[in-house]
Amino acid sequence: MAAVVNRVSRQALLKAKSLQHNQQANFGNFSKRTKNIALGALGLAAAGGTVATAVACGGAVHAATELILHAPRMPWPHQGLFTDFDKRSVKRGYQVYKQVCAACHSLEYVRFREMIGVIFSRDEAKAEAAEFQVLDGPDPEGHMFRRPGLLIDAFPSPYDNVEAAKAANNGVAPPDLSYQVKAAHQGPDYIFSLLTGYRDPPAGVTLMEGVHYNPYYEGGLIAMAQALYDDIIEYDDGTPATQAQLAKDVTTFLLWASNPDMEVRKRAWLKCTIGLLVIGLSSYYWKRLKWVSLKSSKFMFTKSKPTTDKYLKKK
Ligand code: HEC
């Protein structure tokens, strides 16, 4: 019995093998063009499949985040091609950051010296840096210590380490704010709406202690309490400190913090564009100038008459 099964299966295998062989041989007989078309079609099908999968996955992700409230678009003045940040707003926003947000959030990638010329003069920036206590060390005995900040220092974290930050905020460490505006989907619009969007939770939702309801935050439940209220601080320049004003100013400050050299880059972009335009137009003019004599002259190619005696004799 075993021998029969063995023989049958071997035969079947052999058959399958020879079939494969035939197919290969057949494929080998196709013309090169047919093969190319077949391979192209295969490639297209694969690409189509990939795109379809990506679209399907995108749909799934959207379906998961459908419940998020989208932040309305705001007319931020820096968004134009030729416009810069509203410097007075950046300065006010710094005041909000320092007096409200710096209690929990660091700005690890922004250095005090970057504020020179935008928010403060050099001396003011030096004095401002000295107001912050920056972690330094270790000293000769191996201890870390805090010292007044210098211009080269970045805005320090109010906590010694992540664990301390978590312990002070119900288990969630406040993120560094240097690039939050860039990281957030909808950027500044999101930050503004988040800061002004705290609401009472919907009926039937009970919040745990230390959790707050904000429909702009993914999932709606956020560990950060509402930080901005009307008149929570007093602006040095006398601007009324409404909640919306505070949120707009601190968002503008964070925008500047994430992109302090935007003005320089916009200016460089403008110079390059003007330069390329001048070079492009003048090379077009030069080309026309050099080619105009050739392009506007007419060349006549005529067949010269055969004048050999032999030809004449034949006639
Ligand atoms: C009492 C501490 C505290 C203060 C003050 C505070 N925050 Fe927060 N912040 C937090 C914590 C904690 C989180 C993390 C929340 C979470 O992920 O649930 C957070 C998260 C954030 C986020 C990220 C939200 C996201 O989408 O992940 C932004 C932006 C932010 N804070 C901005 C600010 C600004 C601007 C201020 C000042 C106006 C401020 N915070 C003041 C504690 C604070």
- Distances from the Cα of 135 to the Cα of 110, 132, 268, 286, angstroms: 16, 10, 37, 62
First to last CA, the chain: 99
Low-confidence ranges of the chain (pLDDT < 70): 1-67, 305-315
With a 6 Å cutoff on the Cβ, whether 241 touches ligand 1 is no
**Cα separation, 119 vs 117, whole angstroms:** 6
* CA nearest ligand 1 atom 25, residue: 217
Which domain covers residue 43, as residue numbers?
25-66
Place of tokens 């100038």: 289
**Cα separation, 189 vs 169, whole angstroms:** 25
- The residues with which 135 forms a beta bridge, in sequence order, are 146
Domain membership flag for residue 256: no
Quick one: 105 exposed, middle or buried, by C-beta within 10 A (0-12, 13-18, 19+)? buried
Q: How many domains does the chain have?
A: 1
**Cα separation, 71 vs 74, whole angstroms:** 9
Domain membership flag for residue 114: no
Give the pLDDT confidence of 170-214 residue by residue, as tens digits: 899 999 999 999 999 899 999 999 999 999 998 888 888 889 999
| CA 175 to centroid of ligand 1, rounded, Å | 7
Domain membership flag for residue 47: yes
pLDDT at 11: 46
Domain membership flag for residue 54: yes
Strand (E) or helix (H) holding 134: strand 133-136
**Cα separation, 102 vs 118, whole angstroms:** 19
- The residues with which 136 forms a beta bridge, in sequence order, are 145
105 labelled ligand-binding: yes
Domain membership flag for residue 39: yes
* CA nearest ligand 1 atom 38, residue: 101
Domain membership flag for residue 231: no
Domain membership flag for residue 304: no
Instruction: Compute the C-alpha angle 101/236/238, nearest 5°.
Output: 115
Domain membership flag for residue 168: no
Mapped onto helix, strand or coil, the DSSP state of residue 213 is: strand
CB of 159 within 8 A of CB of 105? no
**Cα separation, 22 vs 38, whole angstroms:** 18
| CA 210 to centroid of ligand 1, rounded, Å | 13
pLDDT at 183: 92
With a 6 Å cutoff on the Cβ, whether 257 touches ligand 1 is no
**What does the buried/exposed string (b/e) look like for 111-131 if buried means 16 or more CB atoms within 10 Å of the residue's CB?**
bbbbbbebbbeeeebbebbbe
Give the pLDDT confidence of 68-104 residue by residue, as tens digits: 789 999 999 998 888 999 999 999 999 999 999 999 9
104 labelled ligand-binding: yes
**Cα separation, 149 vs 74, whole angstroms:** 35
